[in-house]
Amino acid sequence: MIQVLFVCTGNICRSPSGEGVLRRMIDDAGLSDRISVDSCGLEGWHIGKAPDDRSQAHALKRGYELGALRARKLSADDFRRFDYVIAMDSGHLRDLNRMKAATSATDIRMMMDYAGRPGTDVPDPYYDGPEAFELALDLIEEGCRGLLTHLQGRT
């Protein structure tokens, strides 16, 4: 089983959206028995809470259900459990690489690396309006399509 983990700051906007989008794509591709997906945050501010209502609403308009997801904080064990850790922006990537043990085989990359746009952040929509949530979802969908193609080559 290939294990994928999406990471953002608080696990209430971008990373749960990534989880919901990729989970749906995995299900649609008939690969849910070979690929699993989760999400977490670098910070523990929202542990146990559902994704931001705006993230849920925008995702639901596109057919992604996020309501059952609950925020959690990244743990050291995640670098042993997950094959892929997907950072939503360059700050997350830097922090994840700093936290990763030298012996970990986890592949850490940015979301947009899988869309052929290395170094491109998925901007945090939290402090902005509806268009920011739509942009984040556009980028996440684009990245997830490329990630799924990559993962299909490994299954």
Catalytic residue among 13, 14, 23, 38: 14
Query: Are the C-beta atoms of 74 and 44 separated by less than 8 Å?
Result: no
Catalytic residue flag (residue 14): yes
Measured CA to CA, the distance from residue 63 to residue 133 in angstroms comes to 15
Catalytic residue among 54, 83, 124, 145: 124
Structure-token match 């936290």, residue found: 99
Who's near 80: CB < 8 A, 6+ residues apart?
A: 104, 106
Catalytic residue flag (residue 124): yes
**CA–CA distance from 57 to each of 10, 23, 131, 134 (Å)?**
18, 17, 13, 10
Query: Are the C-beta atoms of 78 and 100 separated by less than 8 Å?
Result: no
Measured CA to CA, the distance from residue 110 to residue 6 in angstroms comes to 9
How many residues are recorded in the chain?
155
Active site residues: 8, 14, 124
